[in-house]
Every structure is written in structure tokens, then in C-alpha cells.
Structure 1
């Protein structure tokens, strides 16, 4: 049922907040494709299937490509887990099929099972620094992180490296309870060009979908990351 019919007062206020305040706030705006990409990532992070399907339709209408959407969903596996990612993959495939998009989409992999670790380590070093070239040796989970998370996903085409690090920030921000990782990825984002001002705008645009507590926690993590980066310098 349409919430404008069943819950008109709520629908009116939420729409006003979203359309007249969040979207129009000076200095807090993003281009349409980036905005939809981060919101989809945030909705996966907070497990909001209903809202995800609503926003996905708007995102595709706005010009966000099916490949960009699918790459966002795939990468969620490493930060949310397969169990939490899978329903969103199904919702995405359903809507793409309804719109006549042929599946599977064109492959985006650039690594093999033989070189995924090497290339994943290289990506980690670009984002987090040269010390990551040895981090994978600390144990199996660190090795999997390099080979699977970064080697299997971050090396794929369809999204830029900056976009991949950005959606990771949104996965972590929206699911909550990952503040150490969120702080680390705030640093990673700033290291590759997604500066503090940009990340603050990302939080603002996601806030209506994830709520104030996790948004405020994300701001605190960005400030902590900035402070730690300045202390190193």
C-alpha cells in the first residue's frame, strides 16, 4: 500500500525532510549517480530490503548503470557477509529482469586464482600504505582479506577504486558496530581523494536512510581518522 494513503502525515514530513532539506542543503549535495550508489550501499548495510528496492528503481531511472549496481552488491559480500548480501542480489536481479536487462551482465574480473593475492596486496598498499605489503602474512584471515576482499573485488572494473572504497565506508557506517574499521576506511578514503568534506556530504545524504546515531558515529570516526592522520605527519 502507498504510505501517502495509509500514513499521510508521516509521508509528508519524511518527503519534506528528504526533498526540501537534505537534497537542498547548501554544501551537502552530491551528483545523482554518486548519491544513489552510496544510498544503495547504506541500505544494504542496514538490511533495508524494502527501501532498497524503492531506491534501486530510482537509481536506474537516474542513469546509474546495472553494472555499477551489481558491483556494489557483490562487494557487500566481504563487509556484510554472504547471508546478508544475498537477498539484495536477488532483489537486484528481479528488478533488472523486469526491466529487460539480460543477465548475466558482462564480466568485470581482472584477476585469476593465481594472481589475486598479489594484486590484492597491491591495492591494499595503494589505499592504506606500504606497510600493507607485509600484512597478509600475519595469518589466514589477513591473507584472505588481501586475496578475496581486495584481490577478488577491488580489482574488478565497473567501479573506480575511489568508488569502491566509498561504498565500503557506507557498508560499515550503516551496519554499525564497526567503528574501528570505519575509522580505518575513512583514512583509506582520504588517502585516495575522498576528502573529509566529501565524506561529510556522503553521511548527510545517507542520514535519512540510516538514522542519526550511526550518522553521528560516522562523523566521529572521520574526525578521529583526520586527527590520527595529522599526528602521523
Structure 2
């Protein structure tokens, strides 16, 4: 195999001492994948390793890549993603994918952390109560999207208005208000959840714009898309790029 020294070094940083079984069973594939993902792609831009792997974990949840998530989780921890941050990524994904798709990832995360000697449960990160979550969630929406969100929770037809209230209280009040990740990080991973699952382009465009408001600019999101491409493929990456461009055109 002709794997570049740069790819070998990066792989060793992610997985110290690990020998891939696919190098034996699928050497031609691994040569091209490793050279692409761990040399060409990672040296395309200056996105830091920690942000890169946080985005990768998020797109893997979005695309339901459970086996690769399990493989990449130790690399994320090696690159400085804390157990709390990993938990927050998985917890927040429930609002965008539902527990039916996220439970396997939570189980894998718990297994990996426990095997690594991390005592569970981790310290609590909640900052709201059931009484304060709605008000705090509304404020988070305003901080992210602007003042137009102040009354959004009670807008819409009467028969479905409760869903907008849940969006404020549950999605934002229960998750975005937690410690462990800041709003810029939470909006980045949300964009990753959305574009990786496909079919959520309107929401991905909206959250691209929200990223811009918080300081995750167009260049940053293109870096995120680029670094996740080997894990999510071209069609959804190109769709994500279109969402970013549409959001930028309106900003």
C-alpha cells in the first residue's frame, strides 16, 4: 500500500497503536480512503482537530453511521473532546433526530466512556427547571435568531401552536441552555445534524444563517462541510453547501 506519511501520522494521532483490519482485507480501498480523508482533506484548511471531530461525530449521528461513530469516538476524546462535550452532542441530537435514532449512539457513548474508566453519570449540566425552561428557551431563540423569535412560541394555527411552544421549551429550553457547549458550538452541531440526515434543507439554511449571526461565518461552515465530506458523501455535502450559499445570499 502507498499510504502517505502524513496520512499515517494523522491516523496514529487519532488511534495510537491501532492496526486496521481493512488494511488486510481491503488494502486498495484503505489506501485511497486514508490518503483522502486523513491527508488531502485534513490539510485542505486550518480547521482545528477538536472542532473537526465534533462536527464528524455530529454528522455521523445525523446519517446514522453508528459503527463509524463508535470508531471515531476514541479519536474525538484523543483530540480533546471531553466526555461532557460528547454527551452534549448526543443529547442535543435528540431534538433533531428523535430518541428512536439517537438511543443507539447514547448507548455506544456510555459503553466507550465506561470502558475508558469514566464514572457515570457525569456532573449535571442543566441550567433550567421545568418552570423556567420556556422563558430560557425563548431567550436562547432570541439570542440565536433575533428579536423576531420573542413571540414565535405562541404563533401559528391554534391546533398546532403547541409545537412551537415545545420548540422553545424543549428544543431550546431543555438543550441549548445546558452547560458544556456554547451557543456557537451548538449551532454548528445542529447544522451538522440537519444536513447529514437529508431532507431538512430549509432548516439547514435557517441554521446556517443562525451560525452566521453567532460568528460561525460562511468560510467556517464550508470548512466544516469539507472536513465531514469523507464521512457523509458528496450529495448531502453539496446540498449543505447550497444551504450555506443561500443563507449567505440573504444575509
Could you tell me how far 1:173 is from its partner in structure 2? Answer: 1.1
Could you tell me how far 1:184 is from its partner in structure 2? Answer: 0.2
Tell me, which stretches of 5 or more residues in structure 1 are unaligned? Answer: none
Q: Determine the structure 2 residue equivalent to 1:163.
A: 185
User: Aligned-pair RMSD on alpha carbons?
Assistant: 0.8
- Structure 2 distance, partners of 1:199, 1:24, is 16
Matched, 1:30 2:40: no
Q: Determine the structure 2 residue equivalent to 1:135.
A: 152
Q: Determine the structure 1 residue equivalent to 2:211.
A: 189
1:154-182 alpha-carbon deviations (Å, 9 max, x no partner): 00000011000110000001101000000
Match of 2:72 among 23, 34, 55: 55
Runs of 4+ in 1 over 2 A off after TM superposition: none
| Structure ID, larger Rg | 2
1:81-133 alpha-carbon deviations (Å, 9 max, x no partner): 11011000000000000001000000000001001000100010111111101
Matched, 1:7 2:39: no
Does the residue aligned with 2:215 lie in a helix, a strand or coil? Answer: coil
- Structure 2 distance, partners of 1:215, 1:29, is 19
Match of 1:100 among 98, 110, 117: 117
Matched, 1:90 2:145: no
Matched, 1:153 2:175: yes
User: Are the equivalent residues in 2 in contact too, given 1:183–1:222 (CA < 8 A)?
Assistant: yes
Matched, 1:117 2:134: yes
Q: Determine the structure 2 residue equivalent to 1:220.
A: 242
Does the residue aligned with 2:118 lie in a helix, a strand or coil? Answer: coil
Does the residue aligned with 2:88 lie in a helix, a strand or coil? Answer: helix
- Structure 2 distance, partners of 1:151, 1:70, is 17
Does the residue aligned with 2:151 lie in a helix, a strand or coil? Answer: helix
TM-score (ref. length: structure 2) = 0.89
- Structure 1 distance, partners of 2:214, 2:140, is 11
1:117-151 alpha-carbon deviations (Å, 9 max, x no partner): 00100010111111101110020110000000000
Q: Determine the structure 1 residue equivalent to 2:195.
A: 173
TM-score (ref. length: structure 1) = 0.96
1:12-61 alpha-carbon deviations (Å, 9 max, x no partner): 10000012200111xx2311111111100000000001100111011111
Does the residue aligned with 1:104 lie in a helix, a strand or coil? Answer: coil
User: Are the equivalent residues in 2 in contact too, given 1:125–1:132 (CA < 8 A)?
Assistant: yes
Does the residue aligned with 1:194 lie in a helix, a strand or coil? Answer: coil
Tell me, which stretches of 5 or more residues in structure 2 are unaligned? Answer: 1-19, 156-160
